[in-house]
Amino acid sequence: MIRKTFESDIQQVKDEVLALGSMVEHAIIGSVEALKKRDIKAAEKIIAEDKDINKKRFAIENQLMVLIATQQPMAHDLRLLASTMEIISELERMGDYAKGIANINVRMGEEKLLKPLIDIPRMAEIGASMLHRSLTAFVQEDVAAANAIPMEDDEVDALYNQIYRELMIFIIEDPKNIERANWLLWVAHNLERVADRVTNICERTVFIATGEFSEIKSSDDEFWEKQKKNK
């Protein structure tokens, strides 16, 4: 194989992306877990660890820049490196969502949860799983998987809608609940965004493999369309 060095550099980048992905996964699950237990120490740890995620993202970005500058990638290689640049920025933002959840946990202070968490951990689990599998699809350039994963976003959206309605009922019952309901709504919204970003990763994977830009499905659009209908 010609370009052995380049190949192994690319493999290394992919490994790093997987590592970054597992950090983000861990942060998402962990932040929701901490919220569920109202464990502020754990939340603070996740906020601190987000710095590592950012650091890792910049490290990979730098690695990509060096590869682009020194290896002059073309065609597939170019698509891979350019898209990876995009993917790590998506991952970094997912990390920010997890950090956001942890921040809410910290800001809630001594306050109790409005209700026991059931659907929100479910959302986190699904989102983390989608993320995990989307990165596997990215590494293997599995177009079929990349096209299938975004479909699961529906489930996340459904859960989000359910949570939204539940929390609205709490607010209507007692306006004093507004702040606590709002915190949970925020958390759910962050998790919904995570699933959207997974869709972006899948779109990139399809582009890397085929060279075609295809919008797989904008769950965002669908969500707002549904909102419109609900009105």
Partner 1 sequence: MQNSPSYAIESNDLSIHYGAFTAVKGVNLKIERLKITAIIGPSGCGKSTLLRSFNRMNDFVPGCHATGELLMQGQNLYSKDIDPVEVRRKIGMVFQKPNPFPKSIYENIAWGARINGFKGNMDELVEQSLRSAALWDEVKDKLQESAYALSGGQQQRLCIARTIAIQPEIILMDEPASALDPISTLRIEELMQELKKNYTILIVTHNMQQAARASDYTAMMMIDDQRAGGVIEFDDTKNIFTRPKDKRTEDYVTGRFG
In terms of CB distance, is 79 or 217 closer to partner 1?
Answer: 79
Measured over the CA atoms of residue 82, residue 87, residue 88 and residue 92, the dihedral's sign is positive
- Interaction of residue 1 with partner 1, rule CB under 8 A: yes
Minimal distance in Å, beta carbon 4 to partner 1?
10
Binding map of partner 1 across residues 32-71, x = CB under 8 A, - = no contact: ----------------------------------------
Is 79 or 189 the residue whose CB approaches partner 1 more closely? 79
SS3 at position 69 = helix
CB of 197 to partner 1, least distance (A): 24
Residue 212 as a binder of partner 1 (CB under 8 A): the answer is yes
User: CA-based Rg of the chain, rounded to a whole angstrom?
Assistant: 19
Q: Report the alpha-carbon distance of residue 112 to residue 45 in Å, rounded.
A: 20
**Could you tell me which of 169, 30, 168, 38 has the C-alpha nearest to residue 112?**
38
Question: What is the C-alpha to C-alpha distance for residues 52 and 75, in angstroms, rounded to an integer?
Answer: 32
Is residue 128 within 8 Å of 163, Cβ to Cβ?
A: no
Pick between residue 1 and residue 110 the one whose CB is nearest to partner 1: 1
Q: How far is the CB of 30 from partner 1 (least distance, A)?
A: 39
Of residues 118 through 177, those in contact with partner 1 by CB under 8 A are none
Residue 4 or 112 with smaller CB distance to partner 1:
4
Query: Whole-angstrom Cα distance, residue 223 to residue 215?
Result: 16
Q: Which stretch binds partner 1 (CB under 8 A): 2-10, 27-35, 93-101, 173-181?
A: 2-10
- Least separation, in Å, of the C-beta of 143 and partner 1? 14
Distance between CA 20 and CA 23 in Å, rounded?
A: 5
Spell out, one character per residue from 72 to 101, where the chain touches partner 1: x when CB under 8 A holds, - when not: xxxxxxxx----------------------
H helix intervals, 75-152: 75-108, 119-140, 143-148
Is 109 within 8 Å of 176 (Cβ atoms)?
no
CB-based contacts of 14: which residues, under 8 Å, 6+ apart? 84, 138, 139
- Taking the complex as a whole, the smallest distance from the CB of residue 204 to partner 1 amounts, in Å, to 14
Q: How many residues bind partner 1 (CB under 8 A)?
A: 14
Q: State the residues that interact with partner 1 by CB under 8 A.
A: 1-3, 6, 72-79, 211-212
